[in-house]
Amino acid sequence: MRASLKFKFIMIRNLLFLLAFTAVSFPVFPGEGMWLPSLLEKYNIEEMQRKGFRLSAEDIYSTDRPSMKDAVVRIGGCTGVVVSERGLVLTNHHCAYRAIQSHSSVDNDYLTDGFWAMTEDEELPNRGLTVTFLVRMEDVTERVLSVLDDGMDENQRQAAVNIISGILEDEAVEGTRYNAAVNSFYFGSEYYLFVYDVFEDVRLVGAPPSSVGKFGGDTDNWMWPRHTGDFAFFRIYADDENEPAPFSGENVPYRSPVHMPVSAGGVRENDFTMVFGFPGSTRQYLTSHAVDMLIRMRNPHSIRLRDERLAAMGREMERSDTVRIKYASKFASVSNAWKRWQGENRGLERLDAIERKRAIERRFAEWVEGSPERMSRYSGVLPGLDSLYSLLEHFTLAFDYGQEALYAIEAVRFVNDFLRLTETRTDLRQGTDPARLTSVLSQVSGNFFRDYHQPVDRRIFSMMLTMYRENIDEEFHPAFFGEVTTGFDSDFDRFADHVFSESAFVTPRGVADLLYVLEQDAAGPDLLEDDIFVRIVGDIRAVYNENVISEWNSLNDQLTPLYRLFVEGLREMEPERAFYPDANRTLRVAYGQVRGYYPRDAVYYNKYTTLSGVMEKNLTGDPDYNIPDRLRELYDAGDMGRWTVNGEMRVGFIASNHTTGGNSGSPVINGDGHLIGVNFDRVWEGTMSDIMFDPAKCRNISVDVNYILFITEMFAGAGHILEEMTILR
According to DSSP, the β-strands at 232-238 and 650-655 are unpaired
pLDDT tens track for 228-269: 999 999 999 999 999 999 999 999 999 999 999 999 999 999
Q: Give how far Cα 58 sits from Cα of 31, 68, 73, 627, 673, Å.
A: 21, 9, 18, 43, 12
Per DSSP, the three-state class of 704 is: strand
Is 194 strand, coil or helix? strand
Residue 433 pLDDT greater than 90, yes or no: no
Residue 428 contacts residue 526 (beta carbons within 8 Å): no
**C-alpha–C-alpha distance, residues 711 and 211, integer Å:** 12
Q: Which of 225, 253, 218, 226 is nearest to 238 (CA)?
A: 253
Q: Residue 25 above 50 pLDDT?
A: no
pLDDT value at residue 432: 53
Helix or strand or coil: residue 596? coil
Q: What pLDDT does 638 receive?
A: 95
Angle between helices 508-520 and 434-450 in degrees, nearest 10: 170
Helix (H, G, I), strand (E, B), or coil: what is residue 670?
Answer: coil
Q: Which residues are catalytic?
A: 94, 230, 664
Using CA atoms, how far apart are residues 58 and 62, in angstroms rounded to an integer? 5
The confidence band for 220, taking pLDDT boundaries of 50, 70 and 90, is very high
Nearest CA among 642, 614, 613 for reference residue 714: 642
- Over residues 596-649, the pLDDT tens digits come to 999 999 999 999 999 999 999 999 999 999 999 999 999 999 999 999 999 999
Which pLDDT score, from 0 to 100, does residue 263 have? 98
175 pLDDT exceeds 60?
yes
Strand partners, 512: none
In the Cβ-directed half-sphere of 239, how many Cα atoms lie within 13 Å?
A: 5
pTM of structure: 0.88
Cα(363)–Cα(685) distance, rounded to whole angstroms?
28
Residues 6 or more apart whose Cβ sits within 8 Å of residue 213: 93, 94, 114, 207, 228, 229, 230, 231, 232
- Is residue 194 within 8 A of residue 228, CB to CB? The reply is no
Tell me the per-residue pLDDT of 373-416, one tens digit each, with 9 for 90 and over: 999 999 999 999 999 999 999 999 999 999 999 999 999 999 99
Please spell the DSSP secondary structure of 215-229, one letter per residue.
TTHHHHTT-SS----
**pLDDT value of position 513:** 86
* Contact between residue 274 and residue 48 where contact means Cβ atoms under 8 Å apart: yes
Specify whether the CB–CB gap between 395 and 59 falls below 8 A.
no
Whether residue 508 contacts residue 471, with contact meaning beta carbons closer than 8 Å, is answered with: no
Annotate 298-337 with b (16+ C-beta within 10 A) or e (fewer).
Answer: bbebbbebbebbbebbbebbeeeeebbbbbbbbbbebbbb
CB 254 within 8 A of CB 237: yes
Of 423 and 88, the one with more pLDDT: 88
**Residue 613, φ and ψ in degrees, nearest 5:** -65, -35
Give the Å distances, CA to CA, from 529 to 121, 153, 201, 482, 488. Answer: 48, 40, 40, 19, 22
Q: What percent of the chain has pLDDT over 70?
A: 93
d(CA 550, CA 382) in angstroms, rounded, equals: 24
Task: Report all structural domains of the chain as residue ranges with CATH numbers, in order of start.
Answer: 25-130+200-278+580-682+699-729 (2.40.10.120), 288-570 (no CATH)
Phi, psi dihedral angles at 724 (to 5 degrees):
-75, -20
Q: How are beta strands 727-728 and 262-263 bridged, if at all?
A: parallel
Using CA atoms, how far apart are residues 348 and 610, in angstroms rounded to an integer? Answer: 31
The confidence score (pLDDT) of residue 527 equals 66
Span between the terminal Cα atoms of the chain, in Å: 67
DSSP per-residue letters across 439-474 = HHHHHHHHHHHHT--HHHHHHHHHHHHHHHHHHS-G
**DSSP code, position 206:** E
Q: Where are the alpha helices (DSSP H) in 51-153?
A: 57-60, 93-102, 110-113, 141-145
Residue pLDDT, tens place only, 42-74: 999 999 999 999 999 999 999 999 999 999 999
Contacts of 42 (CB under 8 A, 6+ apart): none
Q: Write the pLDDT tens digit of every residue in 78-128.
A: 999 999 999 999 999 999 999 999 999 989 999 999 999 999 999 999 999
* In contact, 618 and 636? CB cutoff 8 Å: no
Bridge partners for 195 per DSSP: 136, 180
- Give the contacts of 703 (CB within 8 A, at least 6 positions apart): 228, 229, 230, 231, 651, 652, 677, 678, 680
Over residues 448-469, the pLDDT tens digits come to 999 999 999 999 999 999 999 9
244 within 8 A of 726, measured Cβ to Cβ: no
Report, as an integer, the average pLDDT of 439-453: 86
Can you state the percent helix, strand and coil of the chain, rounding each to 5?
Answer: 55, 15, 30
Q: pLDDT tens digits for 565-603?
A: 999 999 999 999 989 999 999 999 999 999 999 999 999
**Is 463 within 8 Å of 401 (Cβ atoms)?**
no
Are 34 and 583 in contact by the 8 Å Cβ rule? The answer is: yes
- Tell me what pLDDT residue 519 has: 73
Backbone angles phi and psi of 193, in degrees to 5: -95, 135
Question: Where residue 160 falls among pLDDT bands split at 50, 70, 90?
Answer: very high
pLDDT one-digit tens code per residue, 191-219: 999 999 999 999 999 999 999 999 999 89
Task: Report the SS3 class of residue 268.
Answer: coil
Please say whether the beta carbons of 648 and 269 come within 8 A. no
Average pLDDT over residues 25-32: 56
Confidence of residue 150 (pLDDT cuts 50, 70, 90): confident
Contacts of 170 (CB under 8 A, 6+ apart): 180
Partnered with residue 91 across adjacent β-strands are 232
pLDDT band at 29 (very low <50, low <70, confident <90, very high): low
User: Cβ distance 230 to 703 under 8 Å?
Assistant: yes
